[in-house]
Amino acid sequence: MAVLEARDLTLAYEARTVVEGLDVAVPDGRVTVIVGPNACGKSTLLRALGRLLKPVRGAVLLDGEELARIPTKRVAQRLGLLPQSPTAPEGISVADLVARGRQPHQSWWQQWSAEDEAAVAEALERTSTAELAERSVDELSGGQRQRAWIAMALAQGTDILLLDEPTTYLDIAHQVEVLDLVRRLNVERGRTVVAVLHDLNQAARYADHLVAMRDGRIVAQGAPGDVVTAELVREVFGLESVVVPDPVTGTPLVVPGAPWAVAVDA
């Protein structure tokens, strides 16, 4: 049994049902990436896995226990999450931001233990943000800022990490940098990662387990090499494409059909 799973999950905002009767098990110690078109419910599913949204029906289970019944602080010791566009208090320094990731391990009389200090120092080191520690988060570049947020989630010391589109608003070099970092954390620290990604090719490159969603349902899941095919891309995104092996990694590379052009008589 997986540590984190969802059973018969139905999620809704107000009266609008977004996800219906969904079952998913997150493989332990692997990188799971959820993909799908806009409004397919992928971020909603991630929010429910992170207890930000209460299921209308069904449940998310952490170690077999219903997530909604576990005290939120205890959940925070097991499961860290990074929302799509997090906001930090104005003027806060990187070190202070990362230090606040330790909140679930603290109490009014244990505000800054030696373990807290070690965990924060390590998180800064692993994300190469140690040299930025005294800088204000407001003045960082997009890539640096995202690394600082990941450092905060890392300092939280959870074995599961949920990332909601961690590469949005980043240029391609920083996207690769962030995803490489996530991959490294998974390999070196055995962290379970669940990420929502927009880019299907990046998903195929970085995922061990790919979950493809459409209209609040899972269309296919499994290893990217098995799942990503031209048929799947058509079914999920409604896009004609050719799938070829990625020249660098060998993972599936989706090449969309020819761009629109004025027909030329041969």
Report the interface residues with other proteins, using CB under 8 A. 47, 50-52, 72-77, 79-83, 85-93, 95-96, 99-101, 103-104, 108-114, 116-122, 124-125, 133-134, 153, 156
In the chain, the amino acid numbered 263 is A
- Kindly tell me which of 153 and 179 has the beta carbon lying closer to other proteins: 153
- Kindly tell me which of 14 and 265 has the beta carbon lying closer to other proteins: 14
Nearest-approach distance from CB 131 to other proteins, in angstroms: 13
- Kindly tell me which of 103 and 201 has the beta carbon lying closer to other proteins: 103
Nearest-approach distance from CB 88 to other proteins, in angstroms: 6
Nearest-approach distance from CB 111 to other proteins, in angstroms: 4
Q: Which residue has the tokens 């078109």?
A: 37
- Take residue 92 and report the two structure tokens written for it: 């806060």
- Kindly tell me which of 113 and 249 has the beta carbon lying closer to other proteins: 113
Nearest-approach distance from CB 193 to other proteins, in angstroms: 15
Nearest-approach distance from CB 257 to other proteins, in angstroms: 37
- Kindly tell me which of 73 and 234 has the beta carbon lying closer to other proteins: 73
Query: Any idea what the Cα angle at residue 85 is, between residues 211 and 67, rounded to 5°?
Result: 55
Please classify residue 56 by burial: count the beta carbons closer than 10 Å to its beta carbon, then call 0-12 exposed, 13-18 middle and 19+ buried.
middle
Q: Whole-angstrom Cα distance, residue 170 to residue 128?
A: 17
CA distances from 62 to 74, 143, 187, 247 (A): 11, 31, 22, 38
- Kindly tell me which of 61 and 81 has the beta carbon lying closer to other proteins: 81
- Kindly tell me which of 80 and 252 has the beta carbon lying closer to other proteins: 80
Nearest-approach distance from CB 222 to other proteins, in angstroms: 28
Looking at the chain, how many residues does it have?
266
Of 117, 174, 105, which is closest to residue 146 (Cα–Cα)? 174
Query: Any idea what the Cα angle at residue 80 is, between residues 73 and 228, rounded to 5°?
Result: 145
- Kindly tell me which of 93 and 201 has the beta carbon lying closer to other proteins: 93
Q: Give the helix/strand (H/E) hosting 204.
A: helix 200-206
68 close to 51: Cβ distance less than 8 angstroms: yes
Nearest-approach distance from CB 112 to other proteins, in angstroms: 4
Q: Whole-angstrom Cα distance, residue 41 to residue 140?
A: 31
According to DSSP, the residues that pair with 26 across neighbouring strands are 4
Of 46, 44, 26, 82, which is closest to residue 216 (Cα–Cα)? 44
Nearest-approach distance from CB 63 to other proteins, in angstroms: 17
According to DSSP, the residues that pair with 244 across neighbouring strands are 253
